Structure 1
C-alpha cells in the first residue's frame, strides 16, 4: 500500500482537529470523519500516510492507546477509526496487548507531546479497495455479509460498505428483501470508485451462472424415451412449455393428446402436473421436445386388440379433406376413408356427401400396427345397388328389303345395248 493511496483518501474526509487534540489529552469526542492534511508536509519521524504498527496498552471509552514500535511516539486510534462497523465501545474490536496496524492521519511532534493519530479503518479500507479492484478485474466471486436492508437494495460488508441494488440481487423480482438480512452472500464487483467510497455489487450474475450450470447438468442427464413429471408453465398457440426442474421443454400441440386438439387450452392449463415422454434433447441449443400423449398408453394398442379387419363399426366424421374423410372409431383413434371408399357412386368432393360430426358406419379394411393407421370404407357397409338392364335393340337381318342394282343406279343403264 503506497503513501499516495492514503493521501488520496485523506482528501475525501474531514475531521475537527480539536477532537484529535482532545484524544491526546484523554478527553475523547470523535466523529466518523478524518482530517484533511497537507500530506507533503514533513513531520520528522512520521508523515501522514505512513503505515505504523504497535501494541495496545490502554483501552478507553472512545479511543485506544498504542506503543508504536521502535519509536518514542505514542499512538492513538479514535473509536471511529478502529473499524467501518458500527460499534459502541473499542473493546468490541481490540483488547490490551493486541498488535495493530494502521495508517497515520495526524502527527504531533512537540516538546511536551509526541503523538501519532492513526486509523486501522482507513488501512483496512485501502486494502479492501485494492482487493475489490482485483476481484473486478479478474471477475472473481467474493463473499460479503448483509449489514442493512434498505428500500432500494442491500448494504453489504465486503471490507468496505458495498451496495447491491434490488435489480442486481437476482434474475427474478424479489419482493421481500428482509429475508437476506444478516446473510453471507456471494457477489461480483459491478463497479468501484474508491475516491467516492462507492462499491456496487452484483449477485444476479452469480444466480444466472448457477442456473445455467444446473440447466446443463439436467440437459445432459435427460434421456430420449424416458418418462418424467413436469409442470405446465406457459401456453402458446403451437404448444405448451413444461418445466422439468431447471429446464423447460416444449410439447407441440400435436403431442398433447391422441385425439385431435384444436386449442392448447382444451388439453392443458398452466399449473397442471403432467407426465411427459422425452422425444429429443439438444443440450447445445437447450431444447427439449416432449409428448404428453406418448407418456400414456396408445388407444390404438387397445383398439387393435379388440377389433379386426372386416369388422363394421360406428364412427364420427372428424375432418374432411380433398382425398377423403377421417372418422373417429374410438376416442383417440381415427381412420381414413379414402374418397374412393365413400360411396359406390362417384364422389368428386367428400363434402358433397359427408359433414363433420356426422355418424357413419364404416368397415375396417386394414390395420397397420407399426404406423398406427386404420383404413376404413363406408361403401363396403352397404350392397352395391343393382343397375337397370340396357334396353334391347331389335334388328331385321333378312335381305327382303335390301336395295337392288336398279334401285341404286336407276335409269343410268337403260340406253346401254347389253
Structure 2
C-alpha cells in the first residue's frame, strides 16, 4: 500500500480531481479518484450546489465527475478523502453569475427562505434580497414568497466572500418602464379608454390605464363642482376617461371623466320646460341678479327685476348664497346654455292687476334675451330702473 501511495503525488486540500462514482449508499457517494488508486467520499451536503430530492437527480453510479478535496480521512486504511461536488458546482455558478452580471441579464431562482430583513434565494449559491428590494411597494408580510420562483437583477457579488445581493424590485421597475413606454405609444389625444382609479389626492385622481397613470384634475371629474375627489370616486373603481393630452417626454397623461358624461345642458328643454317650477340653490349674487343652480352644472339667472314684486336695490336684500329657493322657468336657450328664471312669478302679487304683471314679466323676459356675462346686457344690469325715464329737451335735440 505504501508503494502505491508513493507512486502518486499526495492530494492537498483544495485540489481539483476527477472521480468515478463507484457506489451510492447511506445518502453519500463513494468515488474512485482517477489516477490515484484512492477512494473518496462525497457526503450528502456536498453532492450538489442545486437543490434536489433524490441523489440520482445529481449523480449515478458510473458517472465521471469533477470534485474538490476537502480533507483527508486519516483513520481510513485506504487513505480516503472527503470530497465535494457542490463546491465545484458553486465555482461554475459564480462564473455564470459573473457573466450574467456583466451582460446585464437577470437570473431566475426560487426563494429558499424568509428571514429577518429579506429573502434567501437559491441560485446554486446563496443569494440575499433585502426587504427594500423585493417589490416596488411596501410589503408587510413576506411569508407568501417562500418557494416562489422569481426573477432578479444582480446588484452586488463577491465570490470570495460568498456575497450575492439581488433585487426583484429593479426587475419590476424595468418591466413597468418598458410597459409604460409601449402603453404611452398606444394612447392618443381624444381617445376614450377604460381605466382604474389608482390614487386620490386633493387635486384630482390618478387613473391606471394599464401600465400608465394619468391624472384627472378635480375640475375634470364632473360637470358639477366637486369639493373632494373622494366624494364621487373610489379607489379601484372602473371609469371611462377621455385623453386630453399625452406628454411622452415627461410621462404625463391628462384625462377627463367629465367629457365622457352627458352634458348637464343635454335635454334641458325636457328637464326645464318654460313655465315649469324647479327647486334650486343660489350660487352667486351680482348687482343685476342671482345665479341659481337648478341641476348639477346648470345655472339660470333670476334677474333683479324677477326677484320680488317690491322694489329692491340689490339681490342681497332678499336672497343669500346657499339659499334653496323655488323658481319658475321663463325662457330656455340650450344652444347658449342659458336659463331665465323668476322668483317673483311664484309669489302672490299685491295691489297689482294680473294683466299688468303679465306685461311687465314679458318686458323683462324680452330685455333678458340679449344679455351677456355669461352674456348679460346693460338692460339686465339696470332692469326696471330705466322705466319712466324721460329725456329732457327732446325738442332741442330735434331742431
TM-score (norm 1): 0.66
Structure 1 59/259 Cα, relative in aligned 2: closer, same or farther at 3 Å?
Answer: closer
Q: Please name the residue that 1:401 is paired with.
A: none
Is 2:391 aligned against 1:387? no
Deviations 1:128-184 (A, max 9, x none): 222223333443201112223334433221111222233321112334433333232
Is 2:118 aligned against 1:153? yes
Q: Please name the residue that 1:254 is paired with.
A: 219
Question: Is the CA contact 1:304–1:369 (under 8 Å) kept in the aligned structure 2?
Answer: no
Q: 2:256 aligns with which of 279, 291, 302?
A: 291
Structure 1 142/368 Cα, relative in aligned 2: closer, same or farther at 3 Å?
Answer: same
Q: Which moved more, 1:162-171 or 1:352-361?
A: 352-361
Is 2:211 aligned against 1:211? no
Structure 1 unaligned segments of length 5 or more: list them.
1-42, 393-418
Q: 1:200 aligns with which of 165, 169, 176?
A: 165
Structure 1 162/365 Cα, relative in aligned 2: closer, same or farther at 3 Å?
Answer: closer
Query: What displacement does 1:323 show?
Result: 9.3
Query: What displacement does 1:363 show?
Result: 5.8
Q: What is the alpha-carbon root mean square deviation over aligned residues?
A: 4.5
- Using the alignment, how far apart are the partners of 1:333 and 1:384 within structure 2? 28
Question: Is the CA contact 2:288–2:383 (under 8 Å) kept in the aligned structure 1?
Answer: no
| Structure with max Cα Rg | 1
Give the total of aligned pairs.
345
Query: What displacement does 1:195 show?
Result: 3.0
Question: Is the CA contact 1:316–1:327 (under 8 Å) kept in the aligned structure 2?
Answer: yes
Deviations 1:230-249 (A, max 9, x none): 33343333222233333322
- Using the alignment, how far apart are the partners of 1:261 and 1:101 within structure 2? 73
Structure 2 unaligned segments of length 5 or more: list them.
1-7, 340-372, 394-399
1:116-131 alignment, distance < 5 Å: 117-131=82-96
Structure 1 317/212 Cα, relative in aligned 2: closer, same or farther at 3 Å?
Answer: same
Q: Please name the residue that 2:191 is paired with.
A: 226
Question: Is the CA contact 1:155–1:164 (under 8 Å) kept in the aligned structure 2?
Answer: yes
Say which SS state the counterpart of residue 9 (structure 2) adopts. coil
Structure 1 367/388 Cα, relative in aligned 2: closer, same or farther at 3 Å?
Answer: same
1:8-407 alignment, distance < 5 Å: 44=9, 46-61=11-26, 63-84=28-49, 90-91=55-56, 93-106=58-71, 113=78, 115=80, 117-303=82-268, 316-320=281-285, 326-328=291-293, 330-334=295-299, 355-357=320-322, 359=325, 368=335, 375=375, 379=380, 386-387=387-388
- Using the alignment, how far apart are the partners of 1:385 and 1:67 within structure 2? 121
Question: Is the CA contact 2:126–2:164 (under 8 Å) kept in the aligned structure 1?
Answer: yes
Deviations 1:15-50 (A, max 9, x none): xxxxxxxxxxxxxxxxxxxxxxxxxxxx82644433
Query: What displacement does 1:124 show?
Result: 1.0
Question: Is the CA contact 2:220–2:259 (under 8 Å) kept in the aligned structure 1?
Answer: yes
Structure 1 326/285 Cα, relative in aligned 2: closer, same or farther at 3 Å?
Answer: farther
